[in-house]
Amino acid sequence: MKIRYFEDTDTLLIELKPGQVAETQDLDENTLLDLDAQSEVLAITLEHATTRAELSSFSFDRVAA
């Protein structure tokens, strides 16, 4: 998984897994889902990210099962 922030466009890209994008769906005017041919989510794009997410306090926790 990769998370990338593009400051010049204020866009947050969350890549969940690699794959060939077959379709992009608009959840709303500022949120996009990239799907593969099996409708699995590959990535989520958030436009206007700084107003929609708390980017300054990003953290990642992996919890073992």
pLDDT per position as a tens digit, 18-27: 999 999 999 9
Sketch the domain layout of the chain as residue ranges: 2-55
Average pLDDT over residues 43-56: 91
What's the whole-model pTM score? 0.86
- pLDDT higher than threshold 80 for residue 65: no
What pLDDT score was predicted for residue 57? 81
The rounded percent of the chain whose pLDDT value lies above 90 is 78
- pLDDT higher than threshold 80 for residue 16: yes
Cβ contacts of 50 within 8 Å, gap of 6 or more: 10
